[in-house]
Amino acid sequence: MGKNDAAEDFKLRSILVPLLAIIAGVFMVVLNSTSMNVALSTLLVDLNTDFPTIQWTVTGYMLAQASVIPLAGWLSDRFGAKTVFLSSIALFTLASVLCALPDSAGWLIVFRVIQGLGGGCVIPVAMAYVYKLSPQSKVGTVMAMMGIPILFAPAIGPVLSGWLVEFYTWRWLFIINIPVGILSILLGLKTLPKVERQAVTGIDTPGMVLAPIAFAGLSYGVIEGASSWTSSNTIAGLIIGGIALLAFIARELSTPAPLLDLRVFRSIDFSIGILVQWIGQFALFGAIFLLPQFLQQARGFGAFDTGMILLPQAIASMLVMPIAGYLFDRIGVRWLVVIGLGLVSAATYQYSQVDAATVGKDLIIPLIMAGAGMGMMTMPMNTHLFNKAPRHLVSRVTSLTNSMQQVVNSLSVAALVTILSARVTFRTDELKAAAAAGTTAPTPEMMQQAAAELAANSFADTFGVMVVVAIIGAILGLLLRRGKTSQESEAS
């Protein structure tokens, strides 16, 4: 089944069941990427460990994903998308069983790494799979359906994980993956069509070694940068990752059988598109990361309450994404990205007005705007990039875009933490100076109120930076062109 198979006779219901198998697997993997953050404080007590150690249940998972994402496209071409997708889901599900069992932090970290190795291939292979299942005239609509779990899972994650951790046990964060994984595998074995394999002329062994080192090293460096940009861990990660990346690029441009075919950057449309995607991803992920931190750290909400406050964003994303996919098939990507990032800019501007009295109801409108903006641009942007790449390179492009998104997401968090820390320091110095100049000693109540205002204002300042990033992305979105797809150009 492919794009050339009588697109006019295509009915969406003809691929609903295989699409459900893919969506179930993707939802499970994305949900587990965010749910652990809520459980860390509980794990500290249950596993009798310290925070730097337990943090590796998150960091190890992310680095494992970053190390295998670049390999996903080659594996898919070599062994077939169906085989790689189902094998990855099976490994992830098995690792989930193991993650629910340990009574020590060390073993949990090991099993989380295995889980990350399985999960890393799922999204890039799934994206390429769904793209190849769709006729050209319907690709936006079908890709949008797969995009729903990618945006909905991170938003619903805090609600579900907060509820499970608070009322049951953190082990349920992994147990719930088991039936979902089994469902995805059984449906996939029965209904997923085989997508034709691409000819793989050889194994790019140096590329397979350099790519995981490069992307895992850079991800680790920027993750550590959230704590200190001058620490030995940060510098080592950035240097090792940077050197490996340069060596990897040189290798990929010189070998006839590259792991990631960087020749797609010769297309101006593709290069502009991926730049807009990086900037948009920075703004989107930054907003997703920063607002929960404000609600929990500055306003004192619990994880479950925070998740409930953020729910309108998830619902808006889920409702808008199918509409965006329908519009993409008719008007292309430009105005979807411009309007989407415009909505994110407007929402983030409203976030920049938060203060010590902000409550959940004050954020409903901007949350809906942010969710609509995310749904408007996320999957259309990915589909645009696939359209601008030769069809036989689509599986490699999904690996390339997902590898860089992993680094961009880590960079977004690290940069925002750095900015937030700087603003806290600046406003603390201001507060100390004002207190020193005062004629009367502040009361405990006054100090408590001042501290609350200081935290809220520091977050507001950081949101202000994100407004600028989102606006830049929206302006660059005007450069996106619909034009012919690469496949159409090859055929003409």
Amino acid at 289: F
- pLDDT tens digits along 102-124: 888 889 989 999 998 988 888 88
pLDDT of 409 above 80:
no
- Unique residue bearing structure tokens 């020590």: 104
- Unique residue bearing structure tokens 């309108």: 312
Q: Quick count: other Cβ atoms within 10 Å of Cβ 445?
A: 8
Backbone angles phi, psi at 203, to 5 degrees: -100, 120
| Cβ contact 314:454 at 8 Å | no
Q: Quick count: other Cβ atoms within 10 Å of Cβ 74?
A: 24
Give the pTM.
0.76
- pLDDT tens digits along 355-393: 888 888 888 999 999 889 988 888 888 788 877 776 666
Q: Which of these, 282, 485, 491, 488, lies nearest to 384 by C-alpha position?
A: 485
Burial 404-437 (b: 16+ CB within 10 A, else e): bbbbbbbbbbbbbbbbbeebbeebeeebeeeeee
- Tell me the C-alpha distance between 34 and 406, whole Å: 13
Report which of residues 203 and 359 the model is more confident about: 359
Identity of the highest mean pLDDT range in 50-54, 192-196, 264-268: 264-268
In the chain, the percentage of residues whose pLDDT exceeds 70 is 88
- CATH class assigned to 1-201: mainly alpha
Q: Quick count: other Cβ atoms within 10 Å of Cβ 219?
A: 26
pLDDT of 461 above 80:
yes
Q: Which of these, 451, 449, 408, lies nearest to 428 by C-alpha position?
A: 451
- Report the CATH superfamily, name and number, of domain 263-492: MFS general substrate transporter like domains (1.20.1250.20)
- pLDDT tens digits along 60-77: 888 888 788 888 877 887
* pLDDT of the residue at 191: 82
Average confidence score pLDDT of the chain: 80
Identity of the highest mean pLDDT range in 50-54, 144-148, 149-153, 315-319: 315-319
Cα 101 to chain centroid, rounded = 27
* pLDDT of the residue at 272: 86
| Cβ contact 151:23 at 8 Å | no
Same fold, 1-201 and 263-492: yes
- pLDDT tens digits along 252-284: 888 877 777 777 777 788 888 888 888 888 887
Report which of residues 379 and 180 the model is more confident about: 180
Q: Which two tokens stand for residue 22?
A: 């893919």
Domain boundaries, the chain: 1-201, 203-256, 263-492
* pLDDT of the residue at 30: 83
* pLDDT of the residue at 5: 45
Residues comprising the chain, all counted: 492
3-state class of 270 per DSSP? helix
Per-residue pLDDT, averaged over 229-235, amounts to: 87
| Cβ contact 244:264 at 8 Å | no
* pLDDT of the residue at 438: 63
Amino acid at 252: E
* pLDDT of the residue at 50: 78
